[in-house]
Structure 1
Amino acid sequence: MTPIFIVLIISVLGPVIGSLIGVIKKPTSSFIHLMLAFAAGVMLAVSFLELIPESVELSGVFLAVVGIIFGSMVMYALDKLIPHIHPELCSQEQGLRLKKTSIYLILGIFLHNFPEGMAIAIGRVTDFRTALIIALSIAIHNIAEGICTSAPFYFCTKKKLKSFLVSSMTAIPILVGFIVAYFAFGVLSPTLVGIILAATAGLMIYISADELIPSACSKARKEWSHATIFALIAGIVLVMLLGLVV
């Protein structure tokens, strides 16, 4: 099995593991907040330390800026059409009242995950280390998403298997996005690849700033707000350490 497919498996397992946790054991909101903050740290670090520098090298500063803006605008457009992550949906009380909301959330994450799958395929044109870091950050992010989609759905339906399967289906667009991008990257010019790298960075920065960090800090007590900050820093440090050992 080639390294890039190992990376793909890691990423696809994110929604599956999260969905399983959501129907087996109700996680605390504090745990989810820490996961989201950690994922944000990883995404920000890989964007600024890996993707943007390589994009500038391949396509120049101006086109890299264009790519970042394009990637962030794509996510902005998606956010206007579909719902965000809502960690508070993981509580049983909210889940009982919000079956329709949880279904909309699953559909929204389904669409969100397509560009994430494309981002994972960057390993085709970069190095294995960059692809691995992106996959890990997306997997952590998707574990939290899986929990926050399967838990309220299970509390509404009381059917573990159905809730697990419906929530796990959000892994499908990751696979589709990966396949599309994997074959597309093989015929693209270096300049266009650089723009795509920048767009991926813009996408991940937007997800971190608009979705992960606000969700991680929402309704947190003072001591937990400090914990989320350190979780974010831990994500950044992990990327830097992986740069030394991978």
Structure 2
Amino acid sequence: MSDSPVRIFDIMACDVYWDFEGTPLPREQHKFLVSFHPTPGTPTPELIESITARGPGGYEVEFTNRLFTNGNTDGYIYDRTLDYYWYMVNLPTGFLPEGEYTIEVRATDGTVQSRTRHQDGGASRRLVEHYKAQRERLLASFGPSGGAVLDTVPSDGELRCSWETLERTGGPDAYYIHRLSKGGSAREFDTQNLTWWDNIFVQRLRGEARAGLNRSEVTVRADLEADTTYAYFVEITDANAQGETNICVFQPHQVFATPAGVAAGV
């Protein structure tokens, strides 16, 4: 066992159906992701020399050691709630060929670690085809949405967001991840500073084997601010473990606002 402070938690090498609004990017993409255990005392990016993803036919992609943004879609994201970093690169070059994919991490101390997973193209395409067939019904089911102004300013546990699931429309079982941020659009959504998110991967790690499965609503565990616009999106996956995921469907952002002049919890 290496004594390096850099330790891989898990990886993703999967297809992405990018259904965000107002983007010139193609719907069919793929991504690579590697998450790390916390490195107390030193930010993980300071300990990373390089991260490389490799796949069939000599396919190779380098991650960039920089802050991930909506503009560059390549870099690291910090989860302040759990004090850990994860790196992600989204690639607008279609779905992945089926096969084995490896992510290799070289640390500045010279150590090298890697993880490998198999991409199941059939599972990915089956879920996407059902999503596309039911898309309008699914999008019409979100609440709150459409820029609606809430009656009150929710405090922790008072806001419920709900939606239709694929399983309820005759489709496959799937897992659902909810992310909430300030902002009124996909462009304004701040991945680096989420108000709250439903981290089903950590929930599974903590013993909830079915975390996120066919989940059609969440209760937001955060105080919201008055007179503020928020956006959330619900991601559909076929697994609640990063290393088992073949497809992520990024559904369009849903927008709502809180009223002015009333503090959370009042």
**Larger relative contact order, structure 1 or 2 (CA cutoff 8 Å, min sep 6):** 1
Q: Would the TM-score normalized by the shorter structure come out above 0.5?
A: no
Task: Compare the two structures and name the one with the higher helix fraction.
Answer: 1
- Structure showing greater Rg: 2
The structure whose residues are more often strand, as a share, is: 2
Q: TM-score, normalised by structure 1?
A: 0.28
